[in-house]
Amino acid sequence: MTVPGFQGPWAGSSDHAILAQDIGVQYDLRFSRKKPVRESMASVILRKPPERFWALRHLSVRLSQGESLGVIGPNGAGKSTMLQVLAGILQPSEGRLEVRGAVSGLLTLGAGFDEELSGRENILLGGAFLGLEDRVTRSLMPGIIEFADIGQFIDTPLKTYSSGMRARLGFSIATAVDPDILLLDEVLATGDATFREKSKGRVIELVRSAKAVVLVTHDMNWVEEYCNRALLLEKGEVIMEGAPSEVVALHLERTAQAKAEREAAARAAGLGEAALAPRAR
């Protein structure tokens, strides 16, 4: 897939699962979800200049089969936007992207689920979203139910599920299709410790069977133990890509520095207010 704005040579390789070069995603804030429709339309009619925001910029990454890439960074860094681009949900504004193989992803907890349907019925629905034929999904269903391990709740409406149960069911569906590329967004942070370990085991199996995995997470231990490489995003741009231990160390250092700066600014603001307050007589 090629998108407008790409410049420069396309240096591909025969073994990559994902190849992204200079990817950028830009939003027009006139159509922000937080703005009422009337206000957004008024901005267009009155020809107000667009308010542009780059959620992702200059992203270049190559991922081969058998690699697991951990994507880390502060909230709002562009991590989820990156996964949505790789999944084909978002069309990038610039750059070039090539994805080879079947992609399966669990990007938003419970995405595509129907609250009124049972877990069993949602498995069929999830399979349809993944492009599977009904007979294929039904053949996979026993394994999905066994892995999710939610007992009798499999036949009750999804609205009765806890967030952990939803995560179990969603993860089981997303990983049961034997994808070439698996995209995960913080799903391993949900559920009990036993299921998290079980989930990690399945991801490791996928990597060992020459699958490619991209995982967005705040779990630095997972990144260092189970990822081949790591990528640090901040404000939509890549700060560092490389060995997990080195990328994690830089992330922790920058996080601590940012926290110290916020605390210093808060103290300074407090002192300023105190200095301006009238003295007691």
Judged against a pLDDT cut of 80, whether residue 164 lies above it is answered with yes
Coarse DSSP helix, strand, coil percentages of the chain, rounded to the nearest 5 percent: 45, 25, 30
So what's the pLDDT on residue 204?
79
Asked which of 6-10, 91-95, 277-281 is least confident by mean pLDDT, the reply is: 6-10
> What is the tally of helices (H) and strands (E) in the chain?
8, 9
Element (H, E) at 20: strand 16-28
So what's the pLDDT on residue 197?
81
Rounded Cα gap, residues 28 and 235, in angstroms: 16
The mean pLDDT of the chain is: 82
* pTM across the whole model: 0.75
Q: Specify which of 37-41, 185-189, 204-208 reaches the highest per-range mean pLDDT.
A: 204-208
Q: Using the 8-state DSSP alphabet, how is residue 280 labeled?
A: P
Query: CA end-to-end span of the chain, whole Å?
Result: 73
Judged against a pLDDT cut of 80, whether residue 91 lies above it is answered with yes
Q: Are strands 181-185 and 212-216 parallel, antiparallel or unpaired?
A: parallel
User: Residues 70, 76, 77, 78: what is their CA dihedral angle, to the nearest 10 degrees?
Assistant: 80
So what's the pLDDT on residue 46?
54
Element (H, E) at 245: helix 244-276
So what's the pLDDT on residue 12?
45
Read off the pLDDT band of 30 (50, 70, 90).
Answer: low
Domains and CATH numbers, the chain: 60-92+101-256 (3.40.50.300)
